[in-house]
Each structure stands twice: as C-alpha cells, then as structure tokens.
Amino acid sequence: MIKTVTYLMLFLYLAVACALCQDATKAEPKHYKLAFENESVQVVDVHYGPHEKSGMHDHPGGVVVYIAAGHLRFTDQNGTVRDVYAKAGESRWFPPFKHRVENLGDQSFDAGYVGVKSKPKH
C-alpha cells in the first residue's frame, strides 16, 4: 500500500511539474527550435507560418531579433492582448512572460530569441 501511494505521489508531482513547465521549445516545438543553450542563455529560432497560432508558453526575459517583418498578436495568461508590429532587422527586449502568439500576416514570420536565464556565477 505504501509503495502504491509513493508511486502515485511521484506521478502526480511529475504531472504537475510538466504542466507548469511551458518552455517554448518543449511546449511549441513546431514554432521554437533550440539553437544553443548554456547556464546563462537560451538561443531559440522562431518560425510561424502565415496565420499560425501557438499554445500558451513562456520564455525567460531576453532579446528578440526580427529576421522578417510581421504583425503578431500576443495574449498573456490574464487575457491581455498586445499587437506587435515587427520590422526586419529590429531588436527588442521582452521581460519574462507567459503568452500565446498568433501571426496575423499572410507571410511567414522568423526571428531569433536570446533568453537570459541567469547571471554567470563567478
């Protein structure tokens, strides 16, 4: 009985941990591909086809570099909607936040995201 309860508790812990962990490369592998990662940064290639949408996911705070122009709609976990007009070659800082993305354009959208995980420890 104790063994069964222990396994059940372990399963529930792992299920909750997976549900809370919404790293973009794991939650949305169609749109986010890991390019490089170490203890300080996570570099992600971003690609959305025309009118594609993502599920809810999050990123650490970081810099996005727009490779292609685009019109994107971000909806955060509270339902707040924000339209972003990206210009090719532009860079922007984003704080960490959980959101869904929709490419409102008729063209594919591409970007690179450099997420800052932590300061290096010396």
Sequence spans of domains, the chain? 23-116
User: pLDDT digits over 93-114, tens only?
Assistant: 999 989 999 999 999 999 999 9
How far does CA 17 lie from the centroid of its chain?
17
Residue 117 CB partners (closer than 8 Å, separation 6+): 39, 40, 41, 42, 60
Q: Which CATH architecture has domain 23-116?
A: Sandwich (2.60)
Structural tokens at position 78: 């509270």
Sheet holding 81-86, edge to edge: 57-59, 97-103, 70-76, 81-86
Structural tokens at position 18: 């997976």
pTM: 0.77
Structural tokens at position 104: 């409102």
Amino acid at 69: A
Between 30 and 97, where is the model more confident?
30
Q: Which helix (H) or strand (E) holds 67?
A: none
What pLDDT does 1 receive?
Answer: 60
When pLDDT is averaged across residues 48-67 and rounded to a whole number, the result is 95
* Dist CA 33 CA 25 (whole Å): 6
Count of beta carbons in the 10 Å neighbourhood of residue 42: 21
Phi (first) and psi of residue 101, to 5 degrees? -125, 140
